[in-house]
Amino acid sequence: MSTNRRSFIRNVALGSGAIVSTLPENGFAASTAAMPVVAPSTFNMCGYAAPKLPTVRVAVIGLGNRGPGAVDRLSYIDGVEIKALCDKYPERVDKAQKILTKKGLPMAKAYAGAEGWKAVCESNDIDLVYVTTPWELHTPISVYAMKNGKHAASEVPAAKTIDECWELVETSEKTRKHMMMLENCCYDFFELLTLNMARNGLFGEILHAEGAYIHDLSKDYLFNKKAYADMWRLKENIQNNGSLYPTHGLGPIAQCMNINRGDKFDHLVSMSTNDFSLGKLADEMAAKDDFFKEYTGKTYRGNMNTTIIRSDLGKTLMVQHDVSSPRPYSRIHLVSGTKGAAQKYPGPERIALGHSWLKEEDMKAMQAKYTPPIVKHIGEIAKNVGGHGGMDFIMDWRLIDCLRNGLPLDQDVYDAAAWSSVFPLSGASVAKRSKTIDVPDFTRGAWKTNKPHDMTLNGGGNTGVRPVVK
């Protein structure tokens, strides 16, 4: 984002009483809450089809938790060459190389060090930079990749601040390079089913939807010294309050409601509980291991955050975030319309076209009729490859197929910005006792005429898959 635009945003925010980047009394960073920017875009990336790439040369940056799985999945897709592997730690690169060599594939060029990713982006033999690093690097790497002529795909969230959201949008528009947030939950099987049903009008006018990321990460991940390098994710839960990880629940329901393509997020309010477990867990861990003493006496974000978003057309979306309470995993995925509803969690998956859920035989008939062609085309292969039951592979395959065949992406940079913006905006609302916060219109008005593109639902492309041997 240009300096002038950043100054404009902050000046407007100050004039309206919105939140600026400060450290409030509760100890959490209050992210900038920006009024919508009215400057025209340089190019509309919604529906944009980049030139075909018969072979997609990929660099994977970040080989800790998510990176090795991405290397494995991408290695199965025809038309993919994994040309570069990069991580801060060289041993992780060496380990990822073995994924390729065990399959008889050429070794990738190795990059390492804290800024090895810059050399990757500057290289002349890469088409797509696939980012699976800690959150703070998602935007810097994606922006640098696009500025150096590469498409970018980033793990979630794509951005941590409103400035970063705008920087992604403006860079993608200026370079005409795709920036896709790798929101895998949009490609889970029931989410694709309900999206297809929504597009076919089965639920009528969708007026409310709910999503969540409820997943207890506290002991196995946040306080696990081997889970996240330099304990970066635990530190995120100290530095921020709000909905830190909104997009797994938000992305699929936003697609069902045609956000950025006929409707948009208008404003939100957000509320968090106090922390009732992470601080206590820090004390318990420190009593056993001095390593954790630096994490005691901190103000941790609240266990449960609930954010409610109102759309321009007067519809509502509720998103919850809780990664520290001992309860069953849930993304909720509730879609409610004037003719029916669907809900994924708690199972079993359910659909209602009236006042009661469909019986099992009727549910199977509905699934048979509305399972989209892409699932029929690649779904069973995806289950064999793996990645959260197959949704990760469907996402990767779909991304590559779009790039190879010159098709618009299912998720564009405006989706990445809008969905990710809930992270900082929810924090701004929480910091001011659930003050209403406007959501910027990252499309600058183009949402009124942007059309939903249904390539995912209308069928798969022609990209093949190499033999899957487990």
Q: Report the DSSP beta bridge partners of residue 129.
A: 59, 152
Number of folded domains that form the chain: 1
What is the spatial distance between Cα 420 and Cα 42, in angstroms, rounded to a whole number? Answer: 22
Q: What is the pTM of this model?
A: 0.94
- Core vs surface per residue 421-447: b (16+ CB within 10 A) or e: bbbbbbbbbbbbebeebbbbbbbbebb
> What is the span of the domain harbouring residue 428?
186-377+414-458
H/E stretch holding 70: helix 67-74
Omega of the bond leading into 346 within 30 degrees of 0 (cis)? yes
Nearest to 6 by CA among 43, 35, 28, 41: 35
Helix runs in 227-372, H state only? 232-239, 247-256, 278-288, 360-370
311 within some domain: yes
- Per DSSP, which regions of 70-112 are E strands? 80-87, 109-112
DSSP class of residue 264?
Answer: -
Cβ–Cβ < 8 Å for 160, 423: yes
**Does residue 122 fall inside a structural domain?**
no
pLDDT in tens, the chain (470 residues): 444 454 444 443 333 334 333 334 455 665 544 444 445 678 999 999 999 999 999 999 999 999 999 999 999 999 999 999 999 999 999 999 999 999 999 999 999 999 999 999 999 999 999 999 999 999 999 999 999 999 999 999 999 999 999 999 999 999 999 999 999 999 999 999 999 999 999 999 999 999 999 999 999 999 999 999 999 999 999 999 999 999 999 999 999 999 999 999 999 999 999 999 999 999 999 999 999 999 999 999 999 999 999 999 999 999 999 999 999 999 999 999 999 999 999 999 999 999 999 999 999 999 999 999 999 999 999 999 999 999 999 999 999 999 999 999 999 999 999 999 999 999 999 999 999 999 999 999 999 999 997 878 887 688 999 988 65
> Is 16 inside a domain boundary?
no
Residue 118 lies in a domain: no
Query: Is residue 107, in this structure, part of any structural domain at all?
Result: no
Strands (E), 333-433: 334-337, 341-343, 350-352
**Is residue 452 one of the residues assigned to a domain?**
yes
Which CATH number characterizes residue 440's domain?
3.30.360.10
User: For residue 191, is it within any domain?
Assistant: yes
Asked if residue 398 belongs to a domain, the reply is no
Taking CA atoms, 54 is separated from 45, 258, 455, 466, in Å, by: 21, 31, 19, 16
Tell me which residue of 243, 311, 264 sits closest to 415, measured CA to CA: 264
Strand 151-154 vs strand 128-131: parallel, antiparallel, or unpaired? parallel
